[in-house]
Amino acid sequence: SQTYGPISANETVNFVCVKSAENEISGVIKDEFGNSVSLSADSKIIVKAYRSGNTGGFETKVQAEMVGTFTIEGLDAGKTYQLKFIFIQNNGVLKSQWAGDNGVGVDERVDANGFETNKEILFQFKN
């Protein structure tokens, strides 16, 4: 909500922006066997968020924590996002999958699910 009164030229206006779970998608990443991911120093998982739809643009990316958890911040509440998970080891991409039904990895974006903000998801790489 916002309130304002008469504002004249050359007056200072202050805005307060609040970051909250309504602007985030968080989750846990599992391997193809359903085990918790435990990354080593030479491996990482990048999670990319795209606006939903085949032509929805790239929004942002984060690197998952060593234990496979992630939080994508700064998203627009009320919009849906498709998530791409990229597993990199020794600077090479080993797996690159979209989150599909029930959070299981799929190869094609057209098969990816849309996820709303303020949700926690469980993603599992497929074999």
Q: Does domain 21-124 sit in CATH 1.10.357.10?
A: no
To the nearest 10°, the Cα dihedral for 125, 41, 61, 109? Answer: -20
Digit-by-digit pLDDT tens for the chain (127 residues) are 556 667 777 787 766 655 556 899 999 999 989 998 989 999 999 999 999 976 679 999 999 999 999 999 999 988 999 999 999 999 999 999 999 999 999 999 999 999 999 989 999 999 8
Q: What is the pLDDT of residue 11?
A: 80
Predicted confidence at residue 8, as pLDDT, reads 74
Structure tokens at 30: 């599992």
Q: Are strands 80-89 and 92-99 parallel, antiparallel or unpaired?
A: antiparallel
**pLDDT, position 64:** 97
Which pLDDT does position 53 carry in this prediction? Answer: 76
CB 71, CB 59: distance < 8 Å: no
Task: Please give the Cα distance from 24 to 19 (Å, whole number).
Answer: 9
The answer, as to whether pTM is greater than 0.95, is no
112 in Cβ contact with 78 (< 8 Å): no
Residue 114 neighbours by CB under 8 Å, 6+ apart: 52, 80, 81, 82
Residue extents of the structural domains in the chain: 21-124
